[in-house]
Amino acid sequence: MSKPKVAFICVHNSCRSQIAEALGKYLASDVFDSFSAGTELRDRIDPDAVRLMKEMYGIDMEKTQRSKLLQDIPAVDVVITMGCNVECPYLPCKLREDWGLDDPTGKTDDEFVKVIKTIEENIKELREKYEVPR
């Protein structure tokens, strides 16, 4: 049986959804495949997100990820929206969740860390949901 494909979706695909993709790969790549995308491209991933993910997890998102549009990712089983506070992008799926996260862009490191840690906990819960007992 193939692993479920999980898409983390936000309008700009430059911060929260990128963090979720990176942490999904880091914490749950054996359970599900992680992708992120949005409806608008940014020229780069948020520099504060990049810096803090390097500091906290040793993950260099600039080397492994880029901003992508919805059509740039494969068909997925699960869609997780980040809490866009606008009309979140639509993508067909079997299951949809909204994590309702505030955008930390332009805020303090403490706000970023809070969002990153919330995403980490959510990824761990998602992993448990899809983990096949041995």
CATH superfamily of 5-130: Response regulator (3.40.50.2300)
Model confidence at 88, pLDDT cuts 50, 70, 90, reads: low
95 forms beta bridges with 78
Q: What is the pLDDT of residue 126?
A: 96
Residues 40-81: tens digit of each pLDDT: 888 899 999 999 999 999 999 999 999 999 999 999 999 999
Structure pTM?
Answer: 0.93
- Asked if residue 122 has pLDDT above 80, the reply is yes
Helix (H, G, I), strand (E, B) or coil at 24: helix
- Asked if residue 132 has pLDDT above 80, the reply is no
Residues 101, 79, 56: CA angle, nearest 5 degrees: 50
Distance CA 73, CA 80 (A): 14
86-90, 106-110, 129-133, range with the lowest pLDDT: 86-90
Model confidence at 30, pLDDT cuts 50, 70, 90, reads: very high
